[in-house]
């Protein structure tokens, strides 16, 4: 940063979690933010996402070491919340995931940091462009089908060849939110016969508009949607009834993508041991809820478990596999947020009367928790 540069500085950190290949800001967004801020990028931060340091320099950023950034930049960006916050200056604004992690909230508060936890963004039209959960879930839904197709021993599309024919495989998405709908669209493109299920009645039309069949749980569960657009929490009895209602449909599937989540709660159990025992050997389940406990009784985060011939893929960070596009989306969301927070060119403004800022700081949780 030049000595007479009065623009506020924003630091971009390299990721430290093993296997995390994304970067929080890509060079195209550095260029777009240059009027509002000077940007310093940790050496090598964008390499895994396809952006060498030179690309950041060309876009107007400065390259620096981690310690220089965290000890001086008033605003720091990362994909995952930095695990060690002890070298940060009190008052630093940290923008990253980790907004539902109480340990991070405690550590940030003990150090006097302001953590804008991106999962806490309100689900409003105004905040849509900043919604990393949606952008990353889109990639996870796509990647889940690609991973599932690789793990299957059968083909997804119908094929008629001189060597014989194959029927199209059957696929179902359990949870038809952002990730589930993208999984449905991807499996359709690959030629599978596709089904979808969700507890929110609004999902029926979305599933059907993609050309998939909506599976009804019959009387097992009344449609549930909280005021914030997320699913409402279900009782243990409702979940058990739902599992029994779904079992016979699941027994006919070859690929199952699960992404059922209730914000702030463990993932609902949709596939228990009894259902697993009834699935056809060779069935593949890709469980996108692995990080919050999983939608099956045998899911292990970051592992593939085989039980009675059924493979359960417990991928926890599929967006990182597609690091270039995942970073492009994440960065676009973060840029939109920074533009919102720096709207009047006097630096980053954290005003608690702004619903987006209040929610990100964890001051107003009402928009993000199930009613």
Radius of gyration of the chain, Cα coordinates, nearest whole angstrom: 22
Do 277 and 248 meet the contact criterion of CB atoms below 8 Å apart? no
The C-alpha atoms of residue 141 and residue 257 are separated, in whole angstroms, by: 8
Q: 260-289: which residues touch ligand NAD (CB under 6 A)?
A: 260-263, 268, 270
261 is catalytic: no
Based on the shown chain and the rule CB under 6 A, indicate whether residue 230 belongs to the binding site for ligand NAD: yes
Catalytic residue among 134, 135, 206, 239: 134
CB of 140 to ligand NAD, least distance (A): 9
Give the per-residue contact string, 128-157, with ligand NAD (x = CB under 6 A; - = no): x--x-xx--x--------------------
CA dist., res. 297 & res. 247, Å (int):
14
Provide, rounded to whole angstroms, the least separation between the CB of residue 293 and ligand NAD: 12
Choose, by CB under 6 A, the member of 94, 178, 187, 334 that binds ligand NAD.
178
For ligand NAD, the closer CB: 14 or 267: 267
Piece of the chain touching ligand NAD by CB under 6 A; list 2-10, 100-108, 150-158, 229-237 = 229-237
The question of whether 80 is a catalytic residue gets the answer no
Tokens of 173: 């998405």
And the tokens for 210? 């993609």
Task: Identify which of residues 216 and 349 has a Cβ nearer to ligand NAD in the complex.
Answer: 216
3-state secondary structure of 85: coil
Is 134 annotated as catalytic? yes
Q: How far is the CB of 87 from ligand NAD (least distance, A)?
A: 33
- Is 200 a binding residue for ligand NAD by CB under 6 A? The answer is yes
For the bound state, the minimum distance from the C-beta of residue 153 to ligand NAD, rounded and expressed in Å, comes to: 27
- Residues 162, 207: contact at Cβ < 8 Å? no
Handedness of CA 314, 320, 321, 327 (dihedral sign): positive
Question: Is 56 annotated in the active site?
Answer: no
Residue-wise DSSP of 196-229 = EE-SSTHHHHHHHHTT-EEPP-GGG------TTS
Select from 114, 198, 311, 317 the one that contacts ligand NAD (CB under 6 A): 198
Q: Is there a contact between 139 and 147 (Cβ–Cβ < 8 Å)?
A: no
Contact, 136 vs 330, CB < 8 A? yes
Instruction: Summarize as ranges the residues that interact with ligand NAD (CB under 6 A).
Output: 123-124, 128, 131, 133-134, 137, 174-180, 197-200, 203, 229-231, 234, 242, 259-263, 268, 270
């Amino acid at each position: 940063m030049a000595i007479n540069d009065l623009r506020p500085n924003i630091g971009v950190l390299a990721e430290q979690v093993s296997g995390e290949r994304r970067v929080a800001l890509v060079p195209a967004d550095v260029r777009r933010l240059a009027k509002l801020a000077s940007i310093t990028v940790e050496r090598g931060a964008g390499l895994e996402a396809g952006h060498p340091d030179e690309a950041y320099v060309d876009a107007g950023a400065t390259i620096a070491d981690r310690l220089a950034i965290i000890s001086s930049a008033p605003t720091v960006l990362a994909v995952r919340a930095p695990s060690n916050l002890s070298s940060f200056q009190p008052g630093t604004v940290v923008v990253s995931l980790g907004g539902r992690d109480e340990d991070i909230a405690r550590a940030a508060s003990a150090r006097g940091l302001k953590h804008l936890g991106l999962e806490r963004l309100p689900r409003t039209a105004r905040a849509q462009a900043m919604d990393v959960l949606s952008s990353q879930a889109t990639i996870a839904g796509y990647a889940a089908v690609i991973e599932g197709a690789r793990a299957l021993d059968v083909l997804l599309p119908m094929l008629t060849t001189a060597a014989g024919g194959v029927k199209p495989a059957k696929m179902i998405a359990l949870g038809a939110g952002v990730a589930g709908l993208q999984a449905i669209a991807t499996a359709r493109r690959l030629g599978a016969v596709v089904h979808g299920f969700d507890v929110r009645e609004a999902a029926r039309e979305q599933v059907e508009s993609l050309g998939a069949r909506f599976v009804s749980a019959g009387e097992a569960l009344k449609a549930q949607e909280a005021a914030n657009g997320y699913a409402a929490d279900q009782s243990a009895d409702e979940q058990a009834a739902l599992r029994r209602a779904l079992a016979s449909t699941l027994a006919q599937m070859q690929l199952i993508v699960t992404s059922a989540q209730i914000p702030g709660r463990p993932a609902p159990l949709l596939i228990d041991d009894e259902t697993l025992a009834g699935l056809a050997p060779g069935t593949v389940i890709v469980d996108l809820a692995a990080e919050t406990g999983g939608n099956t009784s045998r899911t292990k985060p970051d592992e593939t478990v085989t039980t009675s011939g059924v493979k359960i893929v417990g991928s926890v960070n599929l967006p990182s596999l597609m690091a270039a596009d995942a970073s492009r989306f994440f960065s676009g969301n973060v840029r939109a947020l920074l533009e919102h927070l720096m709207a009047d060119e006097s630096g980053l403004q954290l005003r608690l009367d702004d619903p987006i800022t209040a929610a990100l700081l964890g001051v107003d949780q009402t928009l993000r928790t199930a009613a």
